[in-house]
Amino acid sequence: MNNMLNRSRRLFLAWVLLTLAIALVLGACSNATTRPEETSETASSEQTTLTVAMTSDAGIDQLDAGAYNGSMHVQAMIYDSLVEYGEKGEIVPGLAESWEISEDGTVYTFHLRQGVTFSDGLALNAEAVVFSFERWIHDPANSLQIATALEAIEAVDEHTFTMTFNKAYYPFLTELSFARPVRILSPSAVEPAGDVNGEFIQAVGSGAWMVESYVRDRETILVPNPHYWGEAPEVDRIVLKVIPDPQSRVMALQSGEVDIAGTQLGRLPVESLPVIEGDDALELLSAEGTNSHFMIFNPAVTALQDLHVRQAVNLAINKASIVEDLMDGVGHEAKGLFPLTVPYVTETNQQWYGYDPEEARQLLAKAGYTDADGDGVVEKDGQPLTLNLVLQQAEFPEWKAIGELMQYELQEIGIDLKLQMLEPNSYYDALWTTKAYDLILYRTYDDAYNPHSFLLSLFRKTADTPAVAWSDRELEALIDTAVGSTDLEERQATYDAIFARMYEQAMFAAVYYPEEIVAVNQRVSDFAFGHSTFRPILWQELKVGDR
């Protein structure tokens, strides 16, 4: 009978969905049991191969140095920048050996390293640098100050060029260290070659690595650039394997399918850390992170305009417990917007609300909220204090548990928190466009973007839109002063004032300082964390042993 057929098919479909979901985990097993790639043991003793797990495809076919497509981590491996981002924001020479900045901070003169060639053998000169910049710098979509404030970029001679800006802005050099769009690519990367308006055809840079092969959504193989100007890498090949599921990455580590998994290339789930720790072949390493997770208060929500309410939310969250209990000690207790690894953040200017539910309750009472009807939720003028918290799980799997914990903690002081779990697209839509949230869990940017770039994009209004996060005129003025200041002391003092103002006004709710975690197979030695998001690992130093 037709109907019976339909019914059994529907039954089957439902089963399939559930088994499929469970199989997501089990599927990793089959993934992990596939035969490892030809590694150094099987191929030849001279060739050393290192396999690294990545969350998403590297997008080599569109990895234009001057665009925001593909993986920025791979961008930073293939293309060099003029200057590099060192420890805690120190700017160190890259392709530019030295530079001078005019008194007023508007003219930058760069001297390029001599004898540098791209991986295709073309020489790197001032003209190639100007070519790289001209390709994207006039695009009105660019928000980098280096693009918007640039008046002229000119080659002076073969190895010297100048950049002239219409204002002083201390992070110009920091922006030049970014993975994109400021890196330098070979004129042969576009068609017709050397044409500023040419179309991107292949990823050719002067960086330590070049592409050997690429299969979309599967793997990218990088080999050392024979023309590289710096120290040559120790390994002969790096295989970047795409493994989107966090659990699968753990299993790939266990089976030896990948040698390295973790960092921002593909985060490891905290729940699986005991498994990795218990595996003798693997070593777990961690480094201080430079971003933090926090909650944005929607400035348009009436209840949150009361300082007492914002303070109460902060006091209700047990930041120490999130680290100790929920994250098994991975990470640090949040004590502000930025952790100490961020420039201008010091022990003295870092100050935030602790955990004190009793005081939080009193603050709510002071703000006029009482639980008159005894349902556990406080009201003011008959309106219960209900807030919705928007969050997502795909990119940050731990947010659901953190959200549920905060939901319970806020319930304890009488705030009814509704969790709204969205998929990444709708989440970012809510954050940037629709603003359909009372509270939203977000993270600060990483390293080179902190603190100036993050403050500018979240706490500072633009020409036509108000600030995304809760901010005020005083804070916005302070941010302007800080980024325009050419004097280091003045800048530090202004940042002190910024952090103090944020604390006074409880402009956000601090939640969690994550840590960078990586698991490395014992056959790999000399692993070192990089200093920026786009260079999470110091690739050149890695060695592969024969273990």
Partner 1 sequence: MSGIKNNYGIRLGLVIVLAYGLIALFAPWLAPADPLHVQMSHKLELPSWSYPLGTDHLGRCVLSRLIYGTRTSLLYTLAVLASVFAISIPVGLIAGYAGGRIDQAIMRLIDVLLAFPSLILSLAITAMLGPSMPNLLLSFAAVWWAGYARVIRSVVLQIRSRDYIQAAIASGSSHGTIMVRHILRNAARPILVLASVEVGTILLAIAGLSFLGLGAQPPVPEWGVMLSDSRPYMQTEPRLLLYPGIAIMIAVLGFNLVGEGLREQRKDARAA
Taking the least distance from each CB to partner 1, the nearer of 244 and 484 is 244
Taking the least distance from each CB to partner 1, the nearer of 326 and 337 is 326
The DSSP 8-state label assigned to residue 234 in this structure reads: S
Among the listed ranges 171-179, 256-264, 412-420, 514-522, the one in contact with partner 1 (CB under 8 A) is: 412-420
Among the listed ranges 303-311, 352-360, 372-380, 405-413, the one in contact with partner 1 (CB under 8 A) is: 405-413
CA distances (Å), origin 3, targets 12, 15, 185 = 14, 18, 62
Are the CB atoms for 508 and 293 separated by under 8 Å?
no
Token pair listed for 416: 């009814």
User: Binding of partner 1 at residue 281 (CB under 8 A)?
Assistant: no
Residue 295's DSSP bridge partners are: 441, 509
User: Binding of partner 1 at residue 403 (CB under 8 A)?
Assistant: yes
User: Binding of partner 1 at residue 325 (CB under 8 A)?
Assistant: yes
- Tokens 């399918």: give the residue: 257
CA distances (Å), origin 395, targets 64, 286, 341, 342, 380 = 24, 20, 23, 22, 36
Q: Give the SS3 label for residue 524.
A: strand
Instruction: State how far the Cα of 532 lies from the Cα of 530, in Å rounded to an integer.
Output: 6
Q: Which of 107, 149, 340, 405 binds partner 1 (CB under 8 A)?
A: 405
User: Binding of partner 1 at residue 326 (CB under 8 A)?
Assistant: yes
Q: Which of 184, 269, 284, 307 binds partner 1 (CB under 8 A)?
A: 269
Taking the least distance from each CB to partner 1, the nearer of 257 and 446 is 257
Contacts of residue 33, defined as CB under 8 A and 6 or more positions apart, other chains included, come to 255
Rounded least distance, CB 26 to partner 1, Å: 8
User: Binding of partner 1 at residue 23 (CB under 8 A)?
Assistant: no
For CA atoms 140, 146, 150, 153, give the dihedral sign.
negative
User: Binding of partner 1 at residue 55 (CB under 8 A)?
Assistant: no
Among the listed ranges 8-16, 36-44, 96-104, 203-211, the one in contact with partner 1 (CB under 8 A) is: 8-16
User: Binding of partner 1 at residue 11 (CB under 8 A)?
Assistant: yes
- Total number of residues shown for the chain: 547
Are the CB atoms for 66 and 50 separated by under 8 Å?
no
Token pair listed for 171: 């992070």
Binding-residue total with partner 1 (CB under 8 A): 43
Rounded least distance, CB 408 to partner 1, Å: 4
User: Binding of partner 1 at residue 421 (CB under 8 A)?
Assistant: yes
User: Binding of partner 1 at residue 386 (CB under 8 A)?
Assistant: no
Instruction: State how far the Cα of 255 lies from the Cα of 172, in Å rounded to an integer.
Output: 45
User: Binding of partner 1 at residue 488 (CB under 8 A)?
Assistant: no
Instruction: State how far the Cα of 252 lies from the Cα of 275, in Å rounded to an integer.
Output: 12
Token pair listed for 321: 């417990």
Orientation angle between helical segments 357-366 and 307-316, nearest 10 degrees: 160
User: Binding of partner 1 at residue 5 (CB under 8 A)?
Assistant: no
Rounded least distance, CB 217 to partner 1, Å: 22
Taking the least distance from each CB to partner 1, the nearer of 222 and 509 is 509
User: Binding of partner 1 at residue 494 (CB under 8 A)?
Assistant: no
Binding positions for partner 1, rule: CB under 8 A: 3, 6-7, 10-11, 13-15, 17-18, 21-22, 24-25, 246-247, 250, 269, 271-272, 274-275, 318, 321, 325-326, 393, 397, 400-401, 403-405, 407-409, 418-423, 426
